[in-house]
Amino acid sequence: MTARQTDIVIIGGGLGGLTLAALLGQAGLVIAVVDPHKPAPFKKTENTGRTVALMQASVNILKSTGIWKSLEPLSTPMEMMRIIDDSDARKEPIEIEFPASDIGMEQFSYNIPNGHLRAALYERIEKLKNVNFIESTFSDYAVDGGGIVVNLEDGATIKARLLVGADGRNSAVREFSGIQSTVKKYDQSAITCLINHSRSHNNTSTEFHRMNGPMALVPLPGNQSSVVWVEKTKTADALTRLKKQEFQQALQDKTNNVLGGITLEHGPECWPLCTIKAKAITAQRVALIAEAAHVMSPITAQGLNLSLRDVATLAESIIDAARLGVDIGSGNVLKAYEKRRHIDIETRVFGVDTMNKIVSTDLLGLKRLRRAGLKSLDTLSPLKTLAMQIGLAPQIDESRLAKGEKL
C-alpha cells in the first residue's frame, strides 16, 4: 500500500480534533483525520443530554470555522447562575443568584448538545477538499528524517510533518510517544440525561451543592434542560439501572421542584470521573490537544473550553510557522505551543480538582467554609463580581482566535 502524503495527521475526530482539522484545512494545509467512528449527519443527530457550556472564547473559535450560524438556534445562552447549597440537613439551604449582567456580559456561556457540535464540525471538514476523514484506528508511528510515518490498524500508512493526538482520555498517541501522565481517580461518576420540565428555566443554570457531589440543571431551548448529576460511583450505577419512572422520580426529588414537573426525554448515561494530566504535551513531531492532554471533572464546565484553547493556540503556532516557511513539526514550533499552554492547563486542572473537593465534601470544616463563602458572596457585591470574573478571566498569552481575531 503506498503511503498517503499530508501535512498533518490528527488522530481522533472528537470535538477537539475536528475543530483543529477545520481551522487548519481552511488555511489550506493537507489534513488527515483518523477516527473509527464517523459522526451521524447533522439533521439526524439526536440530543442525548450530553451538552457543553461554551464560554465566549470558545464561541469565537467556533465562529471562525463558520459553523456557529447552524448551532446558535440549538444553543441556549446562560444569563444567570443559581447555586443552592442544601448539604446541611439541619440548616436552611443557601440560595444565591449571579446574573451575567453583574460583570457586564449578556451571558456566561452557551449550552450546546455535543452530538450537534460534532456533526456540524464534520459537515464543515467534508466541504474542504484538502481534509480527509479516514475511518480507522491509530496503531503506531516512526519519526523519519524531516517527517513522521503514521501506521493505522487497517494497514494504511500516512506520511506527515506533524502528528496530533486528539484521541481522548485513553490516548494511544500519548502512550506510544512515551509521554507520562498523572491520573487521579475519583469515586464519583456523572449521570447525564435530557429532561422536559413544566416551568421555564429562564436561561438560568441551577447548581445544587450536596454531600456526594453537585448536580447541575443546564438550560436548552424551550422547556428542556440537560442534567449533570454527580454521585458516588456505586450510587450512580444503581441510579442508572432504575426503571424510567423510578429514575424520573429520583430526579424530581433531587431538584427541589425548581423546574416544576420533570419528564425524562433521553438517558440516563453514566461517566466515571477522574483527573488526567499529561506531563508534557509535545514529543518529537507530536502534539497533544484536548482530553489527550488533560481530563477534568465536569463540575465547572471547563473541559472543552480548555481544549478549544489548545486547539486555537496550536492552529496559530502552525499557521504562523507555515507563513514564515518554517517546518510546522519542528521542535521550535512545538516548544512554543507547549510554553504558551502551560499556565492555562496547570491552573485549570489544579483549580477544577480543588473546586471538586470543595463542592463534593462531607468534611464538616470544608462544608462550613463553603456555606460561609457563598453567604458572603451574596452580601458583598464586589466580591461576587470578582468571583465571577476569576471564573471567566482572560488567559495569559491568549490566541488570536480566542480573542475573536483572525488566524
Residues that bind ligand FAD in the complex, under the rule CB under 6 A:
11-17, 34-37, 52-53, 137-138, 166-168, 172, 190, 192, 228, 271, 290-291, 298, 301-305, 307
Q: Which is nearer to ligand FAD, 308 or 334 (CB)?
A: 308
Q: Which is nearer to ligand FAD, 83 or 190 (CB)?
A: 190
Asked whether the beta carbons of 272 and 237 are under 8 A apart, the reply is no
Question: Closest distance between ligand FAD and the C-beta of residue 91, in Å?
Answer: 29
Q: Which is nearer to ligand FAD, 236 or 333 (CB)?
A: 236
Q: Which is nearer to ligand FAD, 147 or 214 (CB)?
A: 214
Q: Which is nearer to ligand FAD, 120 or 321 (CB)?
A: 120
Question: Closest distance between ligand FAD and the C-beta of residue 108, in Å?
Answer: 11
Rounded distance between C-alpha atoms, residue 155 and residue 3, angstroms: 10
Question: Closest distance between ligand FAD and the C-beta of residue 326, in Å?
Answer: 27
Q: Which is nearer to ligand FAD, 94 or 194 (CB)?
A: 194
The region, left, alpha or beta by phi > 0 then psi within -120 to 50, assigned to residue 137 is beta
Q: Return the exposure string of 293-331: e unless at least 16 CB atoms fall within 10 Å of the residue's CB, then b.
A: bbbbbbbbbbbbbbbbbbbbbbbbbbbebbeeeeebbbe
Rounded distance between C-alpha atoms, residue 268 and residue 189, angstroms: 12
Q: Which is nearer to ligand FAD, 52 or 120 (CB)?
A: 52
Question: Closest distance between ligand FAD and the C-beta of residue 255, in Å?
Answer: 17
Tell me the H-state helices in 203-330.
233-240, 244-254, 303-323
Single-letter residue type at 286: V
Q: Which is nearer to ligand FAD, 147 or 165 (CB)?
A: 165
Q: Which is nearer to ligand FAD, 38 or 234 (CB)?
A: 38
Q: Return the exposure string of 224-263: e unless at least 16 CB atoms fall within 10 Å of the residue's CB, then b.
A: bbbbbbbbbeeebeebbeeeeeebbebbbebbeeebeebe
- What residues form DSSP beta bridges with 383? none
Question: Closest distance between ligand FAD and the C-beta of residue 92, in Å?
Answer: 29
- What residues form DSSP beta bridges with 271? 190
Q: Which is nearer to ligand FAD, 248 or 307 (CB)?
A: 307
Q: Is residue 392 classed as helix, strand or coil in its secondary structure?
A: coil
The region, left, alpha or beta by phi > 0 then psi within -120 to 50, assigned to residue 267 is left
| Assigned C-alpha cell, 262 | 420533570
Rounded distance between C-alpha atoms, residue 80 and residue 71, angstroms: 21
Rounded distance between C-alpha atoms, residue 29 and residue 20, angstroms: 11
Question: Closest distance between ligand FAD and the C-beta of residue 202, in Å?
Answer: 19
Question: Closest distance between ligand FAD and the C-beta of residue 363, in Å?
Answer: 24
CA separation (Å) from 121 to 42, 114, 161? 9, 11, 24
Q: Which helix (H) or strand (E) holds 360?
A: helix 331-360
Chain residue at closest Cβ approach to ligand FAD: 14
Question: Closest distance between ligand FAD and the C-beta of residue 353, in Å?
Answer: 14
Cis-peptide, bond into residue 73, ω within 30° of zero: no
Asked whether the beta carbons of 6 and 98 are under 8 A apart, the reply is no
Question: Closest distance between ligand FAD and the C-beta of residue 138, in Å?
Answer: 4
Question: Closest distance between ligand FAD and the C-beta of residue 381, in Å?
Answer: 27
